[in-house]
């Protein structure tokens, strides 16, 4: 199988607006409905190019589309927000997912069809790059409350207020219901990609994005809490997730060979 080269398209201009908020979320969707994953990729791309995709100034949109071969279509640079990939959560919601998120559409024929290995591999690689670039912790958010504080991390459309309200099932992280998007496994792929990224290739974040958790700059020890991972801890103490290997190196004997295996209550040394 030959992977086609990546594409950059110029979609209909009303489908995106200049981004006015910081990038702190990555939202995974599945695009479905055609007879093959290949046709679904093409259909989604063509929809962004189509003048018919217009609801009076906005339309269905996304930042990236990934094919079953791992081919990627970039619709807009990161400083543009799609007008609609996952919007408001209706009553009570304060903010639109698209204001803060880079969105991905993964080609899938239907809810119960396995994603292609090349789709997942490419998505993880791109998500890892964005996590490093924008200091987004590679953690999966099971629930995104659009009436509350804007969280940072990776989520699925179905986990946002918008997706719940609309009955979305993409990308399908409810495996018990037959979904095919294994979110914990995807996060492991992202972590592996980040671990393999040479430091020189990791863009430095323009602005630090400390999380709401209690960070004590200069503290020498960190007690691992639920949802922690080394990347997130590096963001807390250094405002730079790319420095997680430094924390790993200092605690290698305790953690072992797998940097993803830290557990709640573990005390980690944080090098200065």
Binding site for Zn ion (CB under 5 A): 29, 157, 170
Residue 98 Cα to chain centre, angstroms? 12
Measured from the CB of residue 170, what is the shortest distance to Zn ion in angstroms? Answer: 4
Measured from the CB of residue 107, what is the shortest distance to Zn ion in angstroms? Answer: 13
Tokens matching residue 101: 């998120």
- Residue with smaller CB distance to Zn ion, 24 or 160: 160
Measured from the CB of residue 230, what is the shortest distance to Zn ion in angstroms? Answer: 30
Measured from the CB of residue 28, what is the shortest distance to Zn ion in angstroms? Answer: 8
Q: Which residues pair with 106 in a beta bridge?
A: 30, 66
Question: Contact 138/197 with Cβ under 8 angstroms?
Answer: no
Q: How far apart are CA 131 and CA 22, in angstroms?
A: 13
- Residue with smaller CB distance to Zn ion, 29 or 125: 29
Question: Contact 62/105 with Cβ under 8 angstroms?
Answer: yes
Question: Could you tell me the CA-to-CA distances from 247 to 230, 232, 252 in Å, in that order?
Answer: 7, 11, 8
Q: How far apart are CA 43 and CA 22, in angstroms?
A: 30
Measured from the CB of residue 201, what is the shortest distance to Zn ion in angstroms? Answer: 30
- Residue with smaller CB distance to Zn ion, 62 or 251: 62
Q: How far apart are CA 249 and CA 88, in angstroms?
A: 42
Residue 176 Cα to chain centre, angstroms? 22
- Residue with smaller CB distance to Zn ion, 14 or 111: 111
- Residue with smaller CB distance to Zn ion, 143 or 254: 143
């Amino acid at each position: 199988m030959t992977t086609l080269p990546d594409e950059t398209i110029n979609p209909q201009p009303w489908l995106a607006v200049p981004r006015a908020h910081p990038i702190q979320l990555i939202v995974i969707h599945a695009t479905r409905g055609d007879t093959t994953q290949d046709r679904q990729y093409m259909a989604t791309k063509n929809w962004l190019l189509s003048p018919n995709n217009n609801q009076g100034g906005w339309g269905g949109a996304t930042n990236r589309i990934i094919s079953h071969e791992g081919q990627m279509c970039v619709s807009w640079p990161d400083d543009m927000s799609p007008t609609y990939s996952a919007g408001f959560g209706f009553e009570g919601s304060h903010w639109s997912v698209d204001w803060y998120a880079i969105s991905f559409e993964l080609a899938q024929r239907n809810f119960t069809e396995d994603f292609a290995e090349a789709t997942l591999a490419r998505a993880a690689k791109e998500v890892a790059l964005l996590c490093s670039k924008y200091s987004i912790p590679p953690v999966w958010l099971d629930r995104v409350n659009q009436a509350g504080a804007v969280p940072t991390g990776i989520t699925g459309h179905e986990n946002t207020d918008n997706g719940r309200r609309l009955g979305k099932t993409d990308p399908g992280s409810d495996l018990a219901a037959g979904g095919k998007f294994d979110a914990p496994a995807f996060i492991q792929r992202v972590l592996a990609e980040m671990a393999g990224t040479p430091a020189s290739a990791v863009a430095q974040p323009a602005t630090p994005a400390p999380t709401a958790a209690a960070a004590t700059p200069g503290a020498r020890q960190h007690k691992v809490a639920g949802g922690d991972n080394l990347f997130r801890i590096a963001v807390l103490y250094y405002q730079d997730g790319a420095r997680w290997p430094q924390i790993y190196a200092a605690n290698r004997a305790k953690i072992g060979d797998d940097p993803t295996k830290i557990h709640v209550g573990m005390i980690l040394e944080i090098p200065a």
